[in-house]
Structure 1
Amino acid sequence: MWLLLIILGAITYFLVKRSVAPITRTPVWIIWLVMMMPALVWTIWYEFVGQDQPMPLLLVVAPLIICFTVYVWLIRLGQPTTSDKNIKENSAIVDSQDTEKSTEESQKLRPITINEEKSLRDCFPWAVYYLQNLDYRPQAILCRGKLRTAPEEAYKSIKKNIEQVFGDRFLVLFQEGLSGGPFFALVPNPWAKSDKKETEKPLTRPFFALGLLLVTLLTTTFVGAEIAGVSREMMEANSRVLLQGIPYSLGLIAILGLHELSHYFTAVRYKIATTLPYFIPIPFFLGTFGAFIQMKSPVPNRKALFDVAVAGPLGGFIITIPLLLWGLSLSEVVDLPLNEASTLLNFQALDPRFSFLFAVLAKLVLGSSFLVGKAVHLHPLAVSGYVGLIVTALNLMPVGQLDGGHIIHAMYGQRTAIIVGQLTRIFMLVLAMIRPEFLIWAILLFLMPVSDQPALNDVTELDNKRDLLGLFSLILLLSILLPLPGAIANWLSI
């Protein structure tokens, strides 16, 4: 346990040093200590009390809430104020530092002429955005000033003016600096008309997508048959037994397909260039590594970022629930196995109590037959629904380029999303110390970037309806991820 804590501490310090240190002047070791405190408290509990004694819910939740609050406060405490003469602003576009040397370099990097610069300054009406200075960087032209109207109106007005002067030569980005003041940035537009020949290449490849779908249908059918208890020898003797894998195969493909199609059609509604959903077939494990789409053009604003992100998990969840309920009705109640055999992949005797939502659904369908000391032998269709729940939870993780990361980014901005993503990765690593089944989740979260690409207008906030939907998605994540509390288990007699 202590060895895992040391490893966790080393990884945490590396993450803090790399991603948090550049945005705050608070000493790194203080932030690291705050982040490690929950893991330290839990480790001490298990060391002195033992792993057989369940940890009180208050001891699980309180350190997370307290340390998260202190963590955010320490970062904000160390951020530069607007009164500082030397403000260091880091964004997804560029690292900028106002010094005499950088001013000289910016003159060499000027991508526009003197006359074009005058025209650019005229694109910023005083009553909309009071432009104070232009900063030329290798990646962008930064336009800093003070916002004097609503962000949405300011972006539309400035973008229209710049396009009238420069056409589609630049992408116009609107972002928030660390000091809280929004700034505009002009970056070269890779989709400009001069590159039209590249954009004319077919974006959607329907036959390729269909081919991957058919191969995935085959691999998931083989896996589904194995889940149903069909051996390789039985398959070779009689190929018709493969039909027993169809419920799992169709159920899983329907869940993954609707998830990605929800992303796809929402992106198309916002005129974002995107590919068709592509399945990833594999001949083992679950029969597939899932499906994905690729967006080939930038997201216009945080509203579009939120809608595209939340559409996938909710779309997949909508079909997951009826399929899971149907599959549970075909499943059998069996005796709960010993602790050694009780894993999240034991479909022959799965303990649904690891998930609050799954346990409630199992009790709802199985009724009085699902009691204390019982587990569930999942029907292949129920396995697909169960995998659908896991996929929904994984995608809703508020980290980087996962759907949950996009949702948090759209709701609270990129800076807050980075902080939440860091804490989520630490939490999952700690959870993996308690439940080794989550180790692969923790590793995946640490391998992916903690930040995602900003929207073109990354300043305008969401409306109340979207904020509520975002909070619902986070509640859904917790209902899948957190175990069934003992009090509710006793009330349900499970």
Structure 2
Amino acid sequence: METIEILLLIFLGIISYFIVKRSVANLTTTPIWLLWLVLMTPPLLLTVWMLILGEKEPLPLPLMVIPFVLCPLLYWWLIQKGRPIPAPEETTDSPTDLPLELSKNPRPLTPDEEKSLRKCFPWGVYYLQAVDYRPQAILCRGRLKSNPEQAYQTVRENVEDKFGDRFLLIFQEGVANKPFFALVPNPRSETQNIATTDAAEVLQRPKLILGLFLITLFTTTLVGAAFTGITPEQFQANPRLLLQGLPYSLALMFILGVHEFSHYGAAIYYHIRTTLPYFIPIPFFLGTMGAFIQMRSPVPHRRALFDIAFAGPIGGFLVTVPLLIWGLSLSEVVELSDRASLLNFEALDPRFSLFLAVMGKLTLGDRLGVNMAINLHPLAIAAYLGVIVTALNLMPVGQLDGGHIVHAMFGQRTASIIGQIARLLMLLFAFARQEFIIWALVLLFMPNTNEPALNDVTELDNRRDFLGLCALTLLVIILLPLPGKLASVLGV
């Protein structure tokens, strides 16, 4: 167990360093290593405590509260301390998270081109008042005179007619409910042959994708064999025993694959250039850190953003449920002991999750009673991890699927506030269940904003709003511990 904790700490340290570097390197002059060290202090303290005194000796409340409160505040203060002083003319109305930049010419449009640009905004659709040149974009501010969808479509068609594919047109929320347009350079200009590069980008690095898939299949099968009780000595004596790890590996890879291909299918539906899933193998713990896809072109509107984000976790969850029922039916019931925890698959306490407790009771029936835990079958372990993956991805923070969902539902500014609240709640939740501390820290490291859709103003329809609320409700059901009264009713 000590080896696993050390490896997890090392892995968390590596991942968190790159996350911190990616998220704040362009925002502050404070050294990245110092910011990383501040955020790594709480998990480092917790790991050292557990290695010295063990899991049975709880971390004293002051040592738990003070670092987890002061370190995030110190992290924020260090970022602010190193922020460059903005120019006096800068305002809060500027496009966010746009990696592209205009040329160094402060006015990249000629006077004639600017006149043509102003003509792209009919006064009855969007009354243009000012054109500002910024390093990342040309900002066009004014008053919206029609519905956002009509305004965006009209202005986009006019801009494309005047400038071709020279710019991407972004429609973003502004202060005081005044949306504005931003023109940013199009990295795929007409000089590139899009028709011949689409297939290459979708299947970019096929050998790497296939190689990572096969390696991940091997590492998960190796871990699955260990879950069945096979020791390294037994495996070396009879390599065929590795096949006993296939129920775990195939189920987990299937869940992760359906999750990512659901994203992939939704992205293709909206004509977004997308890579196939990349699986991430690790030779210990769970055998993998999941999978991901990369979208190579911008999302057209908030409806597409919602559909792509929603498809992944829900698609994965729909195949997880029957696998969970199957796996639980093959599992054994054991007495609840001090060893029971969220990550102890030999004595899992299902009461930490309302969803898992109900599923366990429905599947195991009277076998799962009071003071009983579950010794998970490898298939059940894979499905259980599928539930955890669903909950993690539905967290309404930054670039997670849940962050995209609330962004699409409420807009980028409100989604940022929701993300900050979710981070704080998860950190408080980790105080009660220390198993969630790594989860809370990952959310803390993660950037809380994501790139806007091209039309980031038009709101969703009622059906998508309802589905989004259902997704967030599912998150709560998974994370909410089983209430005492309901436990009495279920007899667990």
Normalised by the size of structure 2, how large is the TM-score?
A: 0.81
Corresponding residue for 1:257?
257
- Determine if the alignment matches structure 1 residue 92 to structure 2 residue 96: yes
In structure 2, the residue matched to 1:408 is 406
Counterpart residue identity of residue 279, structure 1: F
Question: What SS does the aligned partner of 2:93 have?
Answer: strand
- 1:98 corresponding residue in structure 2: none
Q: Does 1:244 align with 2:244?
A: yes
Whole-Å separation in 2 of the counterparts to 1:126 and 1:387: 54
Aligned to 2:173: 176
Counterpart in the other structure of 1:428:
426
Instruction: Give the C-alpha shift of residue 13 in structure 1.
Output: 3.3
* Matching of residues 35-434 of structure 1 within 5 Å: 88-92=92-96, 109-196=106-193, 200=197, 202-203=200-201, 204=203, 205-338=205-338, 341-434=339-432
Answer whether contact 1:333 1:374 (CA < 8 A) is retained.
yes
Partner in structure 1 of residue 468 of structure 2: 470
1:83-134 deviation per Cα after TM superposition (whole angstroms, max 9, x unaligned):
xx9964354168xxxxxxxxxxx99611110001111000000110000110
Offset at 1:429?
A: 1.3
Distance 2:470 2:105 in 1: 50
Provide the C-alpha distance between the structure 2 equivalents of 1:19 and 1:89, rounded to a whole number of angstroms: 21
Q: 1:197 to 1:456 in 2, by over 3 A?
A: closer
C-alpha distance 314-19 of structure 1, shift in aligned 2 (>3 A): farther
Deviation readout 1:187-233 (Å, 9 max, x if unpaired) = 11111123559983821133332222121111111100100111111
Distance 2:78 2:417 in 1: 13
- Which stretches in structure 2 are left out of the alignment for 5+ residues? 1-60, 82-88
8 A contact 2:262–2:312 mirrored in 1 = yes
- CA change 1:321–1:413 in 2 (3 A) is same
Shift of 1:447: 1.3
Q: Give CA deviations for 1:287-342 in whole Å, capped at 9, x if unaligned.
A: 1111110001100000000000010000000000000000000001111112xx12
Task: Provide Cα deviations, 1:134-169, integer angstroms capped at 9, x if missing partner.
Answer: 011111110000001110111011000000000000
Change (3 A) 1:330 1:353: same
Q: 1:191, 1:199 within 8 Å by CA — same for their partners in 2?
A: no
Q: Secondary structure at the match of 2:274?
A: coil
Task: For 1:243 and 1:213, locate their aligned partners in 2 and report how far apart those are by CA, in whole Å.
Answer: 17
CA-CA distance at 1:6 after TM superposition: 2.5
In the alignment, the residues of structure 1 paired with residue 78 and residue 353 of structure 2 have an alpha-carbon distance, to the nearest angstrom, of 34
- State the alpha-carbon separation in 1 of the partners of residues 269 and 67 from structure 2: 45
Task: Look up the equivalent residue of 1:358 and give its one-letter code.
Answer: L
Counterpart residue identity of residue 323, structure 1: L
Matches of 2:376 and 2:169, distance apart in 1: 52
Q: 1:18 to 1:316 in 2, by over 3 A?
A: farther
Instruction: Structure 1: give runs of 5+ residues left out of the alignment.
Output: 22-84, 95-105
2:298 aligns to what SS in structure 1? coil
CA–CA distance in structure 1, aligned partners of residues 410 and 117 of structure 2: 30
CA distance in 1 between counterparts of 2:75 and 2:175 reads 19
- Residue identity in the other structure for 1:7: P
Distance (Å, rounded) in 1 between the aligned partners of 2:355 and 2:95: 38
How far, CA to CA, are the matches of 1:280 and 1:302 in structure 2?
29
Contact 1:310 / 1:403 at 8 angstroms: preserved in 2? yes
* CA shift for structure 1 position 240: 1.9
- Work out the CA distance in 2 between the residues paired with 1:470 and 1:15: 32
Contact 2:137 2:182 in 1 (8 A): yes
* Cα displacement (A) at 1:487: 0.6
One-letter amino acid of the structure 2 residue matched with residue 406 of structure 1: H
CA displacement at 1:425 relative to structure 2: 1.0
Deviations 1:352-384 (A, max 9, x none): 111100000000000011100101110000000
Query: For residues 216 and 174 of structure 2, what CA distance do their matches in structure 1 show?
Result: 45
Matched, 1:4 2:67: no
Q: Name the amino acid aligned to 2:96.
A: A
Counterpart of 1:284 in 2: which secondary structure? coil
Matched to 2:287, the amino acid is: G
Q: Percent identity?
A: 59
SS at match of 1:193: coil
Residues 249 and 428 of structure 1, relative CA distance in 2, 3 Å threshold: same
Shift of 1:17: 5.9
8 Å CA contact 2:94, 2:139 repeated in 1: no
Q: Is residue 443 of structure 1 aligned with residue 480 of structure 2?
A: no
The CA RMSD over aligned residues, in Å, is 2.2
In structure 2, the CA distance between the partners of 1:107 and 1:451, relative to structure 1 (3 Å rule), is: closer
Q: Partner residue of 2:38?
A: none
